Amino acid sequence: MSRSLAKIDTSRPSANLTYRSSWLQLSRPMTWTGTIAPVLVGSSLAAGRGPVYPAPFLAMLLAALLVQGATNMLNDYFDVLHGQDLEKWAAPGDPGHGRGPAHRTIPTVAGAMFGLAVLLGAWLAVQTGWWVALAGTLGIVVGYFYSAGPRPLSSLGLGEPAAAVFMGPVTTALAFAVQGHRPDGAILAISLPSALLIASMILSNNIRDIAKDQGFRRTMAIALGRPRAVRLLTVLLTGSYLWLGVMVARRLIPWTASWAFLALPLAVRLRHSLRAGAPRSEEMAGMKWAAFHYWAFGLLFAAGLWLGR
């Protein structure tokens, strides 16, 4: 541990630590496809049944991004309290101190982001129905307890399932519903790739962090062990493409949605980076490839749905 990290007192939540980068980086923009993709997919499906109204679309997108960004910030906040990822933070005396967000301000900022998401959700609920507010509230609760509390969801091996549900069918259905349509079975079918791919992103991160997380949280990757966790990742990635093929073959979605197959090389690169015996540098890059893969798949899939409607 460097001299600057040794000064960090993780027993004091109000310790004068500052992030080494910006608020934007603290919100992890590379992972935003987990929100953007299902909103675009749900809106694209709505476009096939009528007009897409800009105001509810933008309100839904912003509310979802606020919840995801706040969840990501709180994840880093609570990790520090448990002695995790200290290299991301600077203590007084460190040349990088004071350049980024103060650790103690994160709960306030995250709370404000959740609050703004609630206001946007309330407006959408007035336009759509009470269940929109209920679904949004549950999403915020899950986002908070992903990292908070004595037994956060991420420490119980529930990070992947929770994200798959709320950043798959729930977000897709909400984006569809705020355009004035009642969600049906098509939403569940079309949201499955989003559910599988956000789970693959979190699992990739947890496979990379198995050694770091030992003794702190019991992630799904730790519970399964690395070999079986990598096999599960392979199943998630393969399942996304198999289901895409089934939907196109059965004409549940337009053939243009098959553009998402162009993302397959990135899925292969992700899986290769986590192979047995891979150098640590490649394993560390696994999360980056997971994010690149979902960006490519999600945007191509949504564009194909929209243009083929």
Report the pLDDT averaged over residues 10-26: 77
Flag whether pLDDT at 273 surpasses 90: yes
Claim: this prediction has a pTM higher than 0.85: yes
What local confidence, expressed as pLDDT, does residue 96 receive?
Answer: 79
CA neighbor of 270 nearest in space, from 301, 299, 242, 297: 297
Residue 1 has pLDDT above 50, yes or no: no
- Judge whether residue 71 has pLDDT over 90: yes
Cβ-in-10-Å burial (0-12, 13-18, 19+) of 128 comes to buried
pLDDT at 13: 45
pLDDT of res. 59:
97
Taking residues 54-61, report their average pLDDT.
Answer: 97
**Predicted confidence band at 5 (pLDDT cuts at 50, 70, 90)?**
very low
**Cβ neighbours for 58, distance < 8 A, ≥ 6 positions apart:** none
* Mean pLDDT, residues 304-309: 89
Task: Using pLDDT thresholds of 50, 70 and 90, give the confidence band for residue 15.
Answer: low
Q: Is the pLDDT of residue 3 over 70?
A: no
pLDDT score of 4:
38
Q: Which amino acid is at 74?
A: L
202-223 pLDDT tens trace: 999 999 989 888 877 889 999 9
* Predicted confidence band of residue 14 (pLDDT cuts 50, 70, 90): very low
* Whole-angstrom distance, CA of residue 138 vs CA of residue 104: 26
pLDDT tens digits, residue range 104-123?
A: 999 999 999 999 999 999 99
**pLDDT at 7 (0 to 100):** 44
Task: Name the least confident of 20-24, 60-64, 78-82, 262-266.
Answer: 78-82
**Spatial CA neighbour of 205 closest among 113, 270, 297, 115:** 270
Give yes or no for residue 165 having a pLDDT over 50: yes
pLDDT in tens, 145-162: 998 888 889 888 899 999
- In order of their start, the domains of the chain are 18-308 (1.10.600)
The percent of residues in the chain predicted with pLDDT above 90, rounded, is: 73
Higher pLDDT, 249 or 217: 249
Q: Tell me the C-alpha distance between 180 and 178, whole Å.
A: 5
For residue 169, give the nearest of 146, 147, 185 by alpha carbon.
Answer: 185
Instruction: With a cut of 60, say whether residue 254 has pLDDT above it.
Output: yes
| pLDDT for res 227 | 95
